[in-house]
Amino acid sequence: MDRIRLVGGNQLNGEIAISGAKNAALPLMISSLLTDEPLVLHNVPRLADVKQLERILENHGVDIAVHGRRRGEDEGVGQRMTFHAADIVDTTAPYDLVSKMRASFWVIGPLLARCHEARVSLPGGCAIGTRPVDLFLFGLQALGAEIDIDEGYVVARAPKGGLVGATVAFSKVSVGATHTILMAATLAKGKTVIENAAQEPEITNVAECLVAMGAKISGIGTRTLTIEGVERLHGATVEVIPDRIETGTFAMAAAMTGGDVLLKGARPEHLQAALDILARTGTELIAEADGLRVRRNGKGIQAVDVETDPFPGFPTDLQAQFMALMTMSNGTSQIRETIFENRYMHVAELVRFGADISVNGQVATITGKPQLKGAQVMATDLRASVSLVIAGLAAKGETVVNRIYHLDRGFERLEDKLSRCGAEIERLAG
Ligand code: EPU
């Protein structure tokens, strides 16, 4: 297995091109199942999770083409890809494919809407918590689906003639359940109202894609989405939004090491809550025409308390990275993780750098130290892994991050992007 070796202490200076958002690209790719015409996506990141979803979609019969780079385009530009589900040949998403990535469960929405049946493996738990699917099933049942659980599979059938629009009032905000019901409702008969919908920018990216495909959706970007079902959707060309979690991650890295970095293509309005918190730590953030400039020169890192929340709150996907930053603050801060019950797997690893962190239920208390020391560490999930890279960039001496396949699931060319800004970082082949 590959590892990353880094030697901390260098400031980050330069430019980093922000890639397309993983968590937008995945549901956009899944939307292609809703139509027999091609869906063209621009700015798709080159990530292991994208590759994995390609396998799943191909199994359903989707033809996928990756288009070459055009003259003048640099290597930082994301992929242009076409997804063509002319004919769905299989409505089963098998365990060995779904178990590798939770988001693949979301195919249940479009399969049920278009083919009136789906058999999708339950995704199971993962490193950050149990992550049930009750909200998905509740929403699909509201649209008239009959659901059985059979040998670890969710077997869903639409009523004769297809799904029927309804009001789906979620008891809890769920990104995945919102994506799934939104996609399913586009082809349902009549009107669907999704109440307590997730408002993440990735939901908006998908909703706008569906509108470009002919769906009728109002309330995009709000807590209530209203969908008037249509007979069929058609092809479209859509751009994946820049990755706000990658943006926040590099912003926190620069805040921790000091320096001056321009995050090219970043959309500050997609992570305002995180930027507000970063500003309170003493980091300078400047919105520029082509991105976001992040600067911290010389002064210490202020301790700030944070609570994770659904958008527009502070994202859980930046919690680990922010904790890394707080390990070198000049005070004591508290983080409250409210989205996932087990998302503190990075704590034990950050402690290996000499960090002072204690966890009590949902709350982590971090007492900053003037200096961390490099260590051998191991990653347990995507965002946890990158928090270890951030800590290593600021720590004294050498750090080796093991099991970095997690990083490859969600960060494109991480070591390349950081080393171009002055970090001493390399990948060691396993
Ligand atoms: N939940 C339920 N029942 C359900 C669905 C969710 O109780 O049926 C709970 C979850 O267990 C969790 C909470 O609701 O406690 C929120 O989960 P959500 O469904 O919103 O998460 P998700 O859709 O599975 C997406 C991202 C995650 C991100 C979360 C929260 C993608 C592909 N994944 O997951 O991203 O942490 O939203 O913002 O979009 C990552 O990229 O590293 C990652 C984990």
Q: Which DSSP helix (H) or strand (E) runs through 427? A: strand 424-428
Q: What is the pLDDT of residues 95-135, one digit of tens each?
A: 999 998 999 999 999 999 999 999 999 986 566 666 789 99
Run of H or E including 288: strand 284-288
Alpha helices for 119-243 (secondary structure H):
134-142, 175-186, 201-212
* CA 428 – CA 5 distance, rounded (Å): 7
Name the closest-CA residue to atom 29, ligand 1: 175
Strands 3-7 and 398-402: antiparallel
Measure 128 CA to ligand 1 centroid, in angstroms: 10
* Ligand 1 pocket mutation, candidates 174, 411, 412, criterion most atoms within 8 A of CB: 174
pLDDT of res. 125: 59
CA of 174 to the centre of ligand 1 (A): 6
What is the pLDDT at residue 380? 84
Using only C-alpha atoms, the chain has a radius of gyration, in whole angstroms, of 22
pLDDT tens digit string along 145-179? 999 999 999 999 999 999 999 999 999 999 999 99
Q: Quick one: which H or E segment has residue 79?
A: strand 79-84
pLDDT at 256: 96
Measured distance CA(320)–CA(395) in Å, rounded = 16
Tell me the C-alpha distance between 116 and 231, whole Å: 13
Sequence letter at residue 232: R
Q: Over the stretch 303-345, which tens digit does the pLDDT of each residue have?
A: 999 999 999 999 999 999 999 999 999 999 999 999 998 899 9
Candidate from 133, 134, 154, 175 with most ligand 1 atoms within 8 A of CB, to mutate: 175
- Model confidence band, residue 72 (pLDDT cutoffs 50, 70, 90): low
Q: What's the confidence (pLDDT) of residue 379?
A: 83
Rounded to the nearest angstrom, the distance between the alpha carbon of 52 and the centre of ligand 1 is: 18
Residue 86 DSSP label: S
CA of 340 to the centre of ligand 1 (A): 8
Q: Place 297 in a pLDDT band, splitting at 50, 70 and 90.
A: confident
> Which residue ranges have their beta carbon within 6 Å of ligand 1?
23, 26, 102-103, 129, 131-136, 172, 174-177, 315-317, 339-340, 382-383, 410
CA separation, residue 102 to residues 106, 130, 270, 384 (Å)? 8, 11, 23, 17
Catalytic residue ranges: 126
What single letter denotes the amino acid at residue 416?
A: D
Q: Give the tokens for residue 235.
A: 């092809």
